[in-house]
Amino acid sequence: MGLHPLEFSECYLDSPAFREKIKAHEAELDKTGRFIKELYKDGKNLINATKQLSLAQKKFAQCLGEFKFEYIGDDKTDDEKCIGEFFFSPDIFICARMRNITETLMKPLEKFRKDQLGSAKAERKRYEKETEKYYSSLEKLLNMSAKKKEPQLQEADMAVEVMRQHFQVSSLEYVCKLQEIQERKKFECVEPMLAFFQTVFTFYHQGYELAKDFDHYKKALQINIQNTRSRFEGTRSEVFELMKRIKDSPQEYRQTSPISSEGYLYVQEKRPPPFGSSWVKRYSTFVKEQKILHMKTFDQRSGGKLGETESVTIKSCVRKTTDTLDRRFCLDIEITDRYVGHAPPAVMVTVNECNDAFLIHKKSVDAQLDDLGISFVKNSINAIETRGINDQGLYRVVGVSSKVQKLLSFMIDEKSCEIDLAASEDWDVKTITSALKLYLRSLPEPLMTYELYKEFIVPAKSATPESRVQAIHCLVHKLPERNRLVLSLVTKHLAKVAANSKQNLMTVANLGVVFGPTLMRPQEETVAAIMDLKFQNIVVEILIEQHEKICGDAPSSSPSLAATPLSAPTRQSKSLSRQNRPLAVYNPQVLDIQTGMRDQSALSACDRRAAVRLLPVCPWFCSAVTLSREPGWLEGVLEGKRGLIPENYVEIL
């Protein structure tokens, strides 16, 4: 189990468990900072200390071997497993004189440490400052004299409310920043080291010989890094969108929990004379069915120190009748049993309390999985395969939103649905593809159902491709008949699209990215669910590649995933499985979203042709190279295949 995802909804509860999760993320970032500092220091030793070069190299390799990435979520993709194995590979290090590594290794790592880890520390200070201000204002309000006039009390209430809002916004932004950096380090730390090692291998003869053995793993790792970077960009946008929605309406995003209510209570504890009484803040959870209240002493400002847990069975709880504003939320409770502690609490003041979880359902159109819907799916697929299966960026290039909505509403209307899209020139291909995706996303329940969502994700995390296919085969035949029929139509069509990837640039991997969240999604919208997007893509890739087997006859027996070890594949098996994968990932062209027209200035820039040599990270030569329409990418021919190449990986000859 890696690091727990930090849910935005927990920022509003600020529970002890949530603080423990934040501390774990902070500890991981501190460990990364120390690792980069140590690596930077050891790199300097490799450049300057020639007399102790052998010892410095040994320590440098040992430092790499001892570091381990912690991943957010309960499992890792194949790409993340391969990146993680990179640090535990003793055969990738060479004991030879190393020079000129400052540009390839030291500066990128130092830049990451200063820019990313430094910004995290700044956010942490701001978060701790807002925590101190908010909880100090709460205690100041509690200690106000009852003799204060009502306007003064109201003004104090308003000041506390402003402090609370500032604290919650700071908490949301800090949580988002922590998770962003945890994901960034997977490629921004590993990529410079990959470039450094490859430079060493090719510069020295011994390194050149070793590079031959490392070559297949290096190619696979480059694809792993690129895939991880692409998934990060998609996940990052989803997380920011979720954070924005929670900022706008935090009460609508509450997690499902067996606990009826939870939050902070200030408990008034009576002491023997002459000490009087004092208020103690406790994080409390209440289970309504059992009438049990659990209270735990916790103070965020003392480093998150936890006290003992006290549990009481409540017989009655009555709001105290009073006309004074400073006691308007006081509760008198009567208890029957007490499990820890001494005298029972007499009065409680509620500070914050959570509501029941609320599930989000958004539908832009009234789409249903009925005969009209199935007819629309068949009609759309026929039109796409007839008119535009070779269009570049098929399903990636989107249509104008208003036209897409109009087409879908038109096609699912009984009065106007009898139109052949393959023969109609009124609707372009990108509008039809966007309407088909919108229909599948707008169904009351996703095509692969909420009930089976978690079961579909489990095989994507298993070890062998065979066990994945077998498990998904069984799960598909658990779907309702209509769902299975439409899924069969869609995956068969996507297989045809992927078969024409040389023309449309839509490989199986690209289609998985597009249709992963379209065909399956969780019922509750959380950060943890967004982190599972990468596994959704894997499931859809398997459905496309194995659609004939999976959507054909029912399986003879159900697989047992419990017996499958969740270990990473070996390097050799990894390299063999990568040989048939594309060398580049398609990125959408420069388009005008409203009109769908290509940017003419970007097209004219493609006229210049050149030959390039990939930098030490990729020691191959490409021919017939042109500038791509996508910024940061080139188009070229490599080993007889034409595709996209990252511009920062090449050198123009």
Q: Which residues does 337 contact at the CB level (< 8 Å), separation at least 6?
A: 312, 313
CA dist 596 to 158, 428, 506, 629, Å?
50, 10, 18, 14
Cβ neighbourhood burial of 242 (10 Å; 0-12, 13-18, 19+): buried
Q: How confident is the model at residue 207 (pLDDT cuts 50, 70, 90)?
A: low
**Cis amide prior to 646 (ω within 30 degrees):** no
**The pLDDT of residue 379:** 92
pLDDT value at 486 more than 80: yes
**The pLDDT of residue 390:** 92
**The pLDDT of residue 90:** 46
Q: How far is the C-alpha of 80 from the C-alpha of 444, rounded, in Å?
A: 33
pLDDT in tens, 299-313: 777 666 677 788 888
pLDDT value at 535 more than 80: yes
- pLDDT: which is higher, 366 or 49: 366
Q: Report the length, in residues, of the chain.
A: 653
pLDDT in tens, 55-94: 676 777 778 777 776 767 767 777 777 777 665 554 444 4
The token pair at 652 is: 């123009």
Quick check: 265 and 284 in contact, CB under 8 A?
Answer: yes
**The pLDDT of residue 326:** 58
Cβ neighbourhood burial of 198 (10 Å; 0-12, 13-18, 19+): buried
- pLDDT: which is higher, 385 or 144: 385
Average confidence (pLDDT) over 109-118: 87
Q: How confident is the model at residue 611 (pLDDT cuts 50, 70, 90)?
A: very low
- pLDDT: which is higher, 364 or 141: 141
Q: Which of 4-13, 303-312, 404-413, 424-433 has the lowest mean pLDDT?
A: 303-312
Q: How far is the C-alpha of 298 from the C-alpha of 17, rounded, in Å?
A: 11
One-letter amino acid at 337 equals: D
**Residue 14: left (phi > 0), alpha (psi -120 to 50), or beta?**
left
Share of the chain above pLDDT 90, in %: 17
Q: Which residues does 1 contact at the CB level (< 8 Å), separation at least 6?
A: 74
H/E element holding 430? helix 429-442
pLDDT in tens, 499-522: 999 999 899 988 988 898 899 988
How would you write 265-290 as a 3-class SS string? Answer: EEEEEECCCCCCEEEEEEEEEEECCC
- Residues facing 283 on adjacent strands: 264, 296
Q: How far is the C-alpha of 153 from the C-alpha of 137, rounded, in Å?
A: 13
**Residue 510: left (phi > 0), alpha (psi -120 to 50), or beta?**
alpha
Provide φ and ψ at 522, rounded to 5°: -80, 160
Kindly give the interhelix angle for 190-203 and 205-248, rounded to the nearest 10 degrees: 170
How would you write 515-536 as a 3-class SS string? Answer: HHHHHCCCCCCCHHHHHCHHHH
- pLDDT: which is higher, 603 or 621: 621
546 three-class SS? coil
The token pair at 457 is: 């994700």
Q: For 443-546, where are the alpha helices, taking DSSP H only?
A: 453-460, 465-476, 481-499, 501-504, 508-519, 527-531, 533-545
User: DSSP secondary structure string, 230-245?
Assistant: HHHHHHHHHHHHHHHH
Cβ neighbourhood burial of 55 (10 Å; 0-12, 13-18, 19+): exposed
CA dist 327 to 142, 265, 344, Å?
9, 13, 19
Provide φ and ψ at 7, rounded to 5°: -80, 135
User: DSSP secondary structure string, 67-132?
Assistant: --PPPBSS---HHHHHHHHGGG-GGG---S---S-IIIIIHHHHHHIIIIIHHHHHHHHHHHHHHH
One-letter amino acid at 474 equals: C
Nearest to 295 by CA among 246, 253, 350, 363: 350
pLDDT value at 256 more than 70: no
DSSP state of 591: B
Q: Which of 268-277, 547-556, 610-619, 644-653 has the lowest mean pLDDT?
A: 610-619
- pLDDT: which is higher, 101 or 442: 442
Q: How confident is the model at residue 529 (pLDDT cuts 50, 70, 90)?
A: confident
**The pLDDT of residue 303:** 67
Q: Which residues does 155 contact at the CB level (< 8 Å), separation at least 6?
A: none
Average confidence (pLDDT) over 359-373: 65
Quick check: 533 and 517 in contact, CB under 8 A?
Answer: yes
Share of the chain above pLDDT 70, in %: 72
pTM above 0.85, yes or no: no
Q: Which residues does 55 contact at the CB level (< 8 Å), separation at least 6?
A: none
**Residue 341: left (phi > 0), alpha (psi -120 to 50), or beta?**
left
Q: Which residues does 284 contact at the CB level (< 8 Å), separation at least 6?
A: 262, 263, 264, 265, 293, 294, 295, 296
The token pair at 268 is: 């008034």
Q: How far is the C-alpha of 106 from the C-alpha of 95, rounded, in Å?
A: 18
Mean pLDDT of the chain: 75
- pLDDT: which is higher, 635 or 492: 492
Q: Which of 253-262, 276-285, 447-456, 591-600 has the lowest mean pLDDT?
A: 591-600
Average confidence (pLDDT) over 572-591: 35
Torsion angle in degrees (nearest 10) through CA of 336, 338, 342, 344: -50
Q: How far is the C-alpha of 573 from the C-alpha of 586, rounded, in Å?
A: 25
Quick check: 440 and 447 in contact, CB under 8 A?
Answer: yes
pLDDT value at 443 more than 80: yes
